[in-house]
Amino acid sequence: VGKCRSFWRKHRKKILVTTTCLGSGYLLYKLYNAHTRSLADLERELADERHNDEIIKTQMKAHFENIQMIADVTTLPHALRRLSSRIAEEIHVSSVMETLSKGKGTLVPSEKLHLWNELKILSFTRMVLSLWSVTMLSLYIRVQVNVLGRHLYIDTARGLTTSHLLEELDLIDREEEKKFLTSADYLATNGMPSLISDMKRAVKEVLKGKQLKDVLTTRSLEETVIRILDVFMSKGSPHHWVDYLMMAQDTTMSPRDTTTTSVPSSDDATVSKLHQLINETREVLTSTEFTNVAEISLKSCTLALGEEMEKQTGLAAGMQLAKLLPQIEKIVPEISAVPDENRFLQLIRDLPEVQLFFTLLYSNMPL
């Protein structure tokens, strides 16, 4: 015992320093080991997140491509059929042409001139209106399916884990989707009378100085169509043309009064969601970015129209306006043909500006 005490007194300082170092070393080792495990766990979490991000990106890309296909294969063909039928019903070009054909030799010069001038206005109105309607309707429907598709994807990706909730969501979404997408028929059913009237006014303003004997080339035809579109789009309040595509903002479906203390029903939620979708669509249509995309699409389609007329009629060498009018009637059905056979729709779909716009719209990125 005495020797131990003597050893302790003699070496106490060394023993304490050694013990402290060993304790500190062990503590540092434990801390380092815990830190290493934390780093490993963090790296695994980050790897899992990156993996999940890649899965989400892949799913979003597939979903995005799928809803673009829905627009082309389902929604747009139906809307185009209704649109072309309505334009043909409202603008009676064939009846004027028939009257001119049957009246050869019996019509007095003033009657003949009046009918030819009427044919001039009606033919250009139908052609430019078809070009505008098909272009804007295709863009509008694509806005719809992207806005709706984004909502459906986000809703599905949220924490809905039970099959009961998923079934409920699916039922609500189907009903909303039906109501929302059928609003694409508004142009053909409600917007057409005022659209025709305003387009005809723009056509008259641009064509008032053009005589039936005037010679038009491909370039002058393109310039005339662009001028008509510019006059039409610039008339009225900013973005007035949106009201041809969808109900005016003050008449759209609004949510039921939420100031009451009653518990909202599922119908209230559906109306509110539908109202949100409609408002988002209008916000997109009235954005500067959409206006730019629409202008690029209309100009591209106008140039394609000139090329098609040139190919079919030899317009490059020039043609009198009176002889050009029957050729215009032949090309109008091509403008509103089904998507698979429609050069103009394919052109719009392939424009880089259009592709970028809808990619950003679907991903909810700044346009």
**Residue-level pLDDT at 283:** 94
Residue 159 DSSP symbol: S
The pTM is what?
0.76
Element (H, E) at 12: helix 2-70
**Residue-level pLDDT at 276:** 86
Confidence of residue 48 (pLDDT cuts 50, 70, 90): low
**Residue-level pLDDT at 248:** 77
For 91-129, the pLDDT digits (tens) are 989 899 999 888 888 899 899 999 999 999 999 999 999
Provide φ and ψ at 30, rounded to 5°: -65, -40
For 54-78, the pLDDT digits (tens) are 665 566 566 566 766 766 777 888 8
If one compares 142 and 367, the residue with the highest pLDDT of the two is: 142
| Angle formed by the axes of helices 192-207 and 218-234, nearest 10° | 130
Confidence of residue 7 (pLDDT cuts 50, 70, 90): low
Q: Is the pLDDT of residue 166 over 80?
A: no
- SS3 labels along 208-248: CCCCCCCEECHHHHHHHHHHHHHHHHHCCCCCCCHHHHCCC
175: burial class by Cβ within 10 Å (0-12, 13-18, 19+)? middle
**Residue-level pLDDT at 340:** 86
For 146-164, the pLDDT digits (tens) are 888 777 766 666 544 444 4
Pairing of strands 319-320, 215-216: antiparallel
**Residue-level pLDDT at 213:** 94
Distances (CA, A) of 231 to 134, 195, 228, 239, 311: 18, 13, 5, 13, 28
Do the beta carbons of residue 119 and residue 202 sit within 8 Å?
Answer: no
Distances (CA, A) of 53 to 45, 59, 63, 170, 309: 12, 10, 15, 25, 49
Q: Is the pLDDT of residue 258 over 70?
A: no
For 293-348, the pLDDT digits (tens) are 999 999 999 999 999 999 988 888 899 999 999 999 999 999 999 888 899 999 99
* Per-chain mean pLDDT for the chain: 80
Give the C-alpha separation, 160 to 328, whole Å.
55
DSSP-H helix ranges across 91-108:
93-102
Give the C-alpha separation, 290 to 357, whole Å.
8
